[in-house]
Amino acid sequence: MEFFASLCAFPVIGAALSAGNFRIEIVRRIVIAAICLQAISAAILCSPVLLESVPILRFTADFAVDRIGAYFLMLTNFVAACSLSHAPTFFRNEGLFGGKVIPPQHERLFYASALLFVLAMNFVFVADNLGLLWVSIEATTLFSAGLVYFSRDKHALEATWKYLMVCSVGIAFALLGTILIFASSQHGAISGGSLNVRELLGCASHLEPKLLELGYIFCLLGYGTKAGIFPLHTWLPDAHSEAPAPASAMLSGALLNCALFAIWRVTELVRLTEHHGICESVPVVWGALTALAAGLLLVHQYGIKRLWAYSSIENVGIMLVAIGLGSPLLFFLQALNHSVAKVALFLLSGNIIQYYKTKDLSQIRGLLQVSPTGGLLFAIGAAAVTGMPPFGAFIAEWLILAKSADATQGIAVGILLVALAVCFVAVSIHVSRILWGAPKHEISQLGGFSKYLIPSLLCICTIVLGLTALPFLLVKPI
Amino acid sequence: MNAAVIFWGTIVFLALAALAAFVLSHKKNVSNKVMSFLLCAIAAGSLSALCSTGFHSYTYVTPAPFLLGVFPVTFRLDGLSRLFSALLSLILFSTGLFSPGYLNHLKGKISFGQYWVSFFLFALSMYGVVLSADAITFIVMWEIMSLSSAALVASDHSHHLVQKSALIYLGATRIASGLLCGGFLWMHSLCGSWTFSDWNFASAQAIFPALLIILGFCIKAGVWPFHIWLPYAHPAAPATVSAIMSGFMIKVPIYGLVRILVQGGLSAPEIVNLAFILGSVSAFWGVLFALVQNDLKRLLAYSSIENIGLILLALAIALKARAANLPVVADIAMTAALFHCLNHGLVKSLLFFSAGAVDCQAHTRDLHKLGGLARRMPWTMASFFIGSFSICSIPPLNGFASKWLIYQSLFQSTMLFGSYIEKGIALATICLLSAVGALAIATFVKVMGVGFLGMSRSHAAEHAQEASTGIKISQGFLVVLCAGLGVFASHAVKFISQLSLMSPDSVAPATVEFPLPMPVLALMLFSTCLVIYLVFLQSSKVRIFKTWDCGFGALSTKTQASSESFAQPLARIFRPFLRYETNSTIKGRDRRHFPEEITVEVKIVSILESRIYLPVLAVISLIAKGLAKLQAGSIHLYLLYVCSTLVILLLLGTVL
Amino acid sequence: MSDANVHLLRSCAHWILFVSCVALVPPLCLGIIRKTKARLQNRVGPPLLQPLFDIFKLCRKGETLSSTMSGAFRISTVVVLATMLVLAWMTPWLSFKPWSPNADLFLIVYLFALARVFSLLGALDSGSAFGAFGASREVTLGLLVEPALLLGLVALGLFSGTSDLRLIFAYHQIQAPGASCIPGIWLLVGVSILLSSLVELSRMPVDDPTTHLELTMVHEAMVLEASGRNLALIEFSHALRMSIFFGLAAQCFVHAAAAVWRMNALTHGLLNIFGICLIAVSVGVLESLSVKLQWRKVPEFVAYVVSMSLLAAFVAAGSGVAKL
Amino acid sequence: MMSSVDLSVLSAAVLACLMVGTLHLRLNLWMYGATTMCIALATALTAQTHAEINLICVALLIAVLKAAGIPLFLLWTSEKLNVHRDVGAMIPPPLAMHLSIGLLALSFILTRGLPAPEMAATGWYGAAAGISLLFTGLVVMLTRRLAIGQILGFLVIENGIYVFALTQTLGMPLLVEMGVLLDMLVGVMFSGLLVFRIQKSFEHIDVAQLTSLKE
């Protein structure tokens, strides 16, 4: 029980309080407190796995957390904490910068659904049961739809509808896949069948191969839709660009990881059987192609947040490659570096949009002149997210490339290298236009350093991840 | 005193300097003097540290907390890295002397905070690259070098052209590093190690990674046909930056080639011949386009392409000779390549400094607006002239010494190579080299004559003042180095050849002799000049009068030869390469006899750019547009994508 | 009398002979050329040493400088003459020469380049259009002729197995165990050096030094602004350059002959001087018979020269005896 | 031979196919209700043959929530927005209906390959019905232009998956089943709310016209 308490208490209470009509300033404080406490309590919860060498920590029959899950749990809560503690500043500035004033009711709703969204994401990583995994993923869709829907204008509605429909259909396929895996487990392996991950892993070799393979395909497709793999990514740019900056930060920095984590759960299962051909070559090549396609789609971009959305797709592709290579820690390393940099970028983009009062890239010029600090942070984030040394993402991508080169996935390596180059060039074209030159019209500087607090923290994190032995501690087991 | 000290001393101090610049930049008071002093101090320190380490080779691996993520930073200090880091220190030192005087005229245009931060990072990364002993350290430092130099190129980013140049440079360098990554990963999967010394390129399947690596290096070095970025980046950057980029940064790929491929025992004839062809073509192509340039720094950039070509050529000869088992020739060629790196590094920074001095005094780099600076900026003129002589490889300066070594290696290989084809190729290359040398002379005589001699062509050039003391000192420093390396070439050559470059751990280092009597020659020339001057010219009666104008009255600057008209006869000869076109229009009644207005326009098209690179880019962006069409906005379409992907996956599932 | 003194005497004699040759041969060459041309035009013509007298006369005059000139102008004259003297000392254009350091063929060629660069700068310094015309043509000719000259010398170097002109032209080289084609190479190289010297010295058929239309001239246009002693030095260094080239060509021919008929050092030396004069005469004849080439045609003319020395070099490389 | 469970799920599939044929929302919703009733019946029968107590409550839940609640809610929505028939499909409804019937046949072919379920009562009839329901739902989502139509399609897909689960694996663990059901209900509620907003801001609920966000 204390497991449910420590995981659910703070988000639920926070959501309840923020939905209730206190003064908005109080609500903002409550939310920050709630999310930070949530992160801490989750950390305490998985501390045995993180600190001692306990391979897996079981809470109930269907809830347990293993090492990789714990890592992702930490990451998710960190991302959520960063985004949500930046959110109040963001909404305050919305008002300050003469953008349209946000009714407190909407903001309250935003906080409530954001907290529940975080809760759902937390359950993704502690669910030790494919069915519950599916349930929590679907729950994340519903709550995050609330975030995308935030600004309630036509674009937001359209984005939300597409997000909801495409993802629900995809998720439905994932459900079918889950059922197929369940069916495969009933064939002799486990009497009455089971969806429990540990049991399935335990008797992986006895699972009925045909059903398992079908199930894998459906799950890959379903969760892939949620993760935004190339032809299924269609909802992603819309949702990311329409959601308010903190929400898009969470979508890109946490939600995609959840979907990919679900894919990893299934892959991990199929890898143990003797027909694991499909779960190696398919994700690797598909991931590389996704990265390439994302890179090409980055070339002609008009929206500053769509830009980062596509770069998220690129990184999803890379993570998919890592999953296909069957190395959870590389997958996590990439996710970690991507999330940290990408959250910083989305939050900064939020500030930039507030400065220039537009998302249109062709209107945003001369950031270095408008705000040197912001420009510097933006440049660092962009360099980090495109995998430039000395930032963390470089190390992760390099490890992934090296592993796939050693796994004789030459084609994938080639495609990935091209994709990375294209992404870098495309991003640097757009970013350099944002940074250099002079703004097209007078920009009023408002607000203190507070709006740069979280982004600069995250930028420091990327540098630390790149230049210190921190990743070493993670990747050691590889 | 060992590698660790150098590593910490240099890298960390530079990092700290960058940090200091960053901190100060927030207070908006970055003093160029202080920063330049820091730069000089660090450069001098690292130089002295290098000198004090003797000749042993050290390898140094950083302890656990100081990792690049997972990988340790490994450094190797041996002859090769000593040579290059010494060159870097020299250039940085002179840059430090040059900066304060030069940067003043950029005040208000560029933010000195950003400039110095990226500058120190740039210096740091260059030291890092030439000291690195494994692929990870190398590529990390390499990428930092690219990013920081791109930031420096874009220092004055208010101009649109500067932005464009910086982006072209960024793109080129990213492609280069992509190819390098490919090659490194491939080698790692072949040899199972990241350390350069474990890589062996002699094996047959190592040819493809070798190809990737050499292509990557060629792009970064600005070898034909990948040189497109260079003439953009150099004029856009401040003189200090272009001096370092052209003087050292484009030598870093050469370092990489020697460290990885040559010392890795590359012998595949395909690769060697490729390098040979690329080197000779870019030597010719570079100087040919340099001849017809009118922007001073652009011209210097093209001449860098020429010299990089020469260096690559020498490397290729060395590899050929080693493959043909002619160690003597190989050593000569290798020494030639590295000695030319050294010389060109010093000379080119000298030239860029002088160009920068001209730029900040006459406020233009356009040869059509310069002229007559000889009387107003004698020091700058003198240093620029000496630099030009050296780069035209005029004896007894250092340019000649390395050029002679290249000639000598070709001469020897003509005699010693077995096959007649090889002999013929070597002879043809001698012919080509002499033509290149003559073209270089033409180019730099043009610059000297049009830029510095004669009458001033613009008001600004009319009122140029001599540059400040710091600038003069830095130029003098480099001039002394050039002359010294030229006159005492025999010692320099012996020293370089003993750094055992072909294979890092060979027991008996080779020794290359430089038999020419440079000191005697210099002495004879100087004393004869002195005697002749004292005997004849000093005592002669001199009358000052105007230049002969055929009695038409005062000559205007229009009657002087312009840079285009000077180059015209040669440009005519090489019209097919240059796409050289002049179209002149004469206005006026009865146009031939009573012209009122005559305009002549010279057009030179870079074929590579217009015929190859732009179309390729267009195709890529077309593909991107096509892909973007998928995102058409209709949800029904999106759902259809999901279904079709499902079908494809199911089919794959049946196949696999 | 100890042989040390004999040696000393011999070297003194060498020096005296050499210095007098350096002083006299260049004006003599010019004189011979003019004389020949005059004779062929049925004139008496000036005395053979007239050029020398001209130079003395010019030395007595003062010089006129342009107000736009910088120091470069006078310095260039000095440097050109100095380089020429050093070249005269190092290059084996005379078979009897005092000791000189390693005269590497590449070094020689680039010393010529040094002289050329400075004469070009001198021409450009005044800012007059004529100087620039001359300079830009001179530089073009330089590009065309340098490969020819270099390859010619390389051809000699290849079968001698060294790039040191002293050894190449050393007397004992003739007795080198050479293939039968060696005199052929000597001849080819001699001709190519001669022809390239015509280009280098901007004489007919490339350029007419006696024409009065400055626009068509190369050398004369370059020295248009020079006067007095300055002009004297320029003229002398030009003449010296000519005689060095003629001397090299003559050396080649003599060696070609010597490869066939044995001869001792004295005859060799005499033949050398005689050859220089003969070449001067033939140049004079050529100048009075031939017409000036159209400027556009000059590259074609030089192409022949280059191919000739390339041929020589190929043959030499083929039959080369590798010495190291 | 064909068990009664097979019969009911097959009739559900056929009903769904017929549903594709008309554009009348009311009729569509009723037919969907009927389909779901059949499925609830099938669940109940399975529960009875296998004496599975929790399947009984699942059957009840389906009957109450999915077969009655959701159609009524959507019906109420369409009344409020007074849209009574779809504004027209991507392809004409009769064609779509025949397409889905064809897909029904196809699903029989596809599911033949599946290994017979271990414990469930029925063989590939159930699987075929489930897959064909899935196809039908997809057809609806791909062809209908109204937002409500798409919700309907999604519901049909969901039914199909449920049928598949029921007939192949005798239903999933109760906890999972509940979760799925809950998620689906919340989803339907949320999308119904969205439909209202869409009507409010666009004055129509034709999602085929929502194409302003694109490259």
At C101, the amino acid letter reads P
Q: Which residues of B310-343 are buried (b: 16+ CB within 10 A; e: fewer)?
A: bbbbbbbbbbbbbebebeebbbbbbbbbbbbbbb
Alpha carbon separation from B29 to A437, A448, B26, B113, D43 (Å, rounded): 22, 22, 8, 8, 79
pLDDT digits (tens, 9 = 90+) for D78-96: 999 888 888 877 888 889 9
Rounded distance between C-alpha atoms, residue A325 and residue A284, angstroms? 7
Mean pLDDT (whole number) for A110-126: 95
Alpha carbon separation from B107 to B29, B157, B357, B644 (Å, rounded): 12, 14, 15, 60
Asked if residue D214 belongs to a domain, the reply is no
Mean pLDDT (whole number) for C160-189: 72
B639 touches chain D (CB under 8 A): yes
Rounded distance between C-alpha atoms, residue B317 and residue B323, angstroms? 10
Asked if residue C324 belongs to a domain, the reply is no
Is the reported ipTM for this assembly greater than 0.95?
A: no
Token pair 């012996």: residue:
B494
Asked if residue A207 belongs to a domain, the reply is no
Higher-confidence residue of A478 and A342: namely A342
Rounded distance between C-alpha atoms, residue D177 and residue D165, angstroms? 10
Q: Are strands B580-587 and B597-604 parallel, antiparallel or unpaired?
A: antiparallel
Note whether B628 contacts D141, CB cutoff 8 Å: no
Range picked from A345-354, B455-464, C250-259 for highest mean pLDDT = A345-354
C307 touches chain B (CB under 8 A): no
Token pair 């946490």: residue:
A254
Average pLDDT score over chain C: 85
With cut-offs at 50, 70 and 90, classify the pLDDT of residue C175.
low
Which chains have 3 or more CB–CB distances shorter than 8 Å to chain B?
A, C, D
B174: chain A residues, CB-CB within 8 Å = 421, 424-425, 428
With cut-offs at 50, 70 and 90, classify the pLDDT of residue A474.
low
pLDDT for C323? 40
225-254 in A: which are within 8 Å (CB) of B? 225, 231-232, 234-235, 237
pLDDT beyond 80 at A289: yes
Mean pLDDT (whole number) for B217-232: 92
Q: Which residues of D117-153 are buried (b: 16+ CB within 10 A; e: fewer)?
A: bbebbbbbbbbbbbbbbbbbbbbbbbbbbbbbbbbbb
Closest to A134 measured CA to CA, from A150, A145, A148, A123: A123
Asked if residue A184 belongs to a domain, the reply is no
* Domain count along chain C: 1
pLDDT for C180? 47
pLDDT for C324? 35
Rounded distance between C-alpha atoms, residue A302 and residue A296, angstroms? 14
Q: Chain D closest CA to B640's CA: distance in Å?
A: 7
Closest to B85 measured CA to CA, from B136, B38, B131: B131
pLDDT for B374? 86
Rounded distance between C-alpha atoms, residue D130 and residue D124, angstroms? 9
C-alpha triplet C226, C229, C235: angle, nearest 5°: 65
* Longest CA–CA separation in chain D, Å: 56
Query: Residue C1 corresponds to which tokens in the numbers above?
Result: 């009398």
pLDDT beyond 90 at B389: yes
Average pLDDT score over chain A: 90
B630: chain D residues, CB-CB within 8 Å = 215
User: What percent of chain B lies above the pLDDT cut of 90?
Assistant: 54
50-79 in B: which are within 8 Å (CB) of A? 64-71
161-200 in A: which are within 8 Å (CB) of B? 161-162, 165-166, 169-170, 173
A152 touches chain D (CB under 8 A): yes
pLDDT for C1? 57
pLDDT for A53? 76
* Domain count along chain A: 1
With cut-offs at 50, 70 and 90, classify the pLDDT of residue C176.
low
pLDDT for A323? 94
| Half-sphere exposure in the Cβ direction for B171 (13 Å, CA) | 20
Task: Please tell me which of the candidates D147, D180, D183 has its beta carbon nearest to residue A142.
Answer: D183
Q: Please measure the distance between the N-terminal and C-terminal CA atoms of chain B and give it in whole angstroms.
A: 60
**In sequence order, what E strands does A265-424 have?**
none
Rounded distance between C-alpha atoms, residue D196 and residue B305, angstroms? 67
At D31, the amino acid letter reads M
Which residue of chain A comes nearest to D165, CA vs CA?
A179
DSSP summary character for residue C61? S
pLDDT beyond 70 at C55: yes
Asked if residue D152 belongs to a domain, the reply is yes
CB neighbours (10 Å) of residue B398?
29
A466 touches chain B (CB under 8 A): yes
Mean pLDDT (whole number) for C66-71: 85
Task: Please tell me which of the candidates B400, B445, B541 has its beta carbon nearest to residue C110.
Answer: B400
With cut-offs at 50, 70 and 90, classify the pLDDT of residue C214.
low
Asked if residue D78 belongs to a domain, the reply is yes
Select the residue from B134, B144, B627 to test the A interface by mutation, using most A Cβ atoms within 10 A: B627
With cut-offs at 50, 70 and 90, classify the pLDDT of residue B28.
low
With cut-offs at 50, 70 and 90, classify the pLDDT of residue C38.
very high
Give the H or E element holding residue B542: strand B542-545
By the 10 Å C-beta count (0-12 exposed, 13-18 middle, 19+ buried), B363 is classed as middle
Q: How long is chain D?
A: 215
With cut-offs at 50, 70 and 90, classify the pLDDT of residue A476.
low
Alpha carbon separation from B27 to B13, B20, B31, B108 (Å, rounded): 21, 11, 11, 16
pLDDT for B497? 87
The three-class DSSP label of residue A134 is: helix
Task: Please tell me which of the candidates B630, B633, B639 has its beta carbon nearest to residue D141.
Answer: B639
pLDDT beyond 80 at B479: yes
pLDDT for B473? 94
Which residue of chain B comes nearest to A337, CA vs CA?
B69
| Half-sphere exposure in the Cβ direction for B407 (13 Å, CA) | 30
Least confident of A33-37, B109-113, B221-225, B586-590: B586-590
Closest to A309 measured CA to CA, from A223, A385, A391: A385
Q: Which residue segment(s) compose the domain that D107 sits in?
A: 4-209
566-605 in B: which are within 8 Å (CB) of C? 566-570, 573
Q: How many CB pairs below 8 A link A and B?
A: 169
pLDDT digits (tens, 9 = 90+) for A76-109: 999 999 999 999 999 988 877 766 778 888 999 9
Asked if residue A409 belongs to a domain, the reply is yes
Closest to C287 measured CA to CA, from C32, C47, C2: C32
pLDDT digits (tens, 9 = 90+) for A248-273: 999 999 999 999 999 999 999 999 88
Rounded distance between C-alpha atoms, residue C130 and residue C291, angstroms? 23
pLDDT digits (tens, 9 = 90+) for B59-109: 888 877 677 777 888 888 888 888 999 999 999 999 999 999 899 888 888
Rounded distance between C-alpha atoms, residue B559 and residue C131, angstroms? 11
Q: Which residue segment(s) compose the domain that C282 sits in?
A: 3-319
Q: Report the sign of the C-alpha dihedral through residues B603, B608, B611, B613, in that order.
A: negative
pLDDT digits (tens, 9 = 90+) for A11-70: 999 999 988 878 889 999 999 999 999 999 999 998 888 887 788 889 888 899 998 999
Rounded distance between C-alpha atoms, residue D190 and residue D177, angstroms? 20
Asked if residue A87 belongs to a domain, the reply is no
Q: Which residues of D22-53 are buried (b: 16+ CB within 10 A; e: fewer)?
A: bbebeebbebbbbbbbbbbbbbbbbbebeebe
Residues lower than pLDDT 70 in chain D: 1-2, 118-123
Q: How long is chain A?
A: 478
Mean pLDDT (whole number) for B584-610: 80
pLDDT for C308? 87
pLDDT for A232? 93
Rounded distance between C-alpha atoms, residue A430 and residue B170, angstroms? 13
A193: chain D residues, CB-CB within 8 Å = 169
Higher-confidence residue of A191 and B131: namely B131
CB neighbours (10 Å) of residue C211?
12
A390 touches chain B (CB under 8 A): yes
With cut-offs at 50, 70 and 90, classify the pLDDT of residue C313.
confident
pLDDT beyond 70 at C212: no
Select the residue from A296, A320, A369 to test the B interface by mutation, using most B Cβ atoms within 10 A: A296
User: What percent of chain A lies above the pLDDT cut of 90?
Assistant: 65
Asked if residue C159 belongs to a domain, the reply is yes
Mean pLDDT (whole number) for C81-110: 89
Note whether D113 contacts A157, CB cutoff 8 Å: no
Asked if residue D35 belongs to a domain, the reply is yes
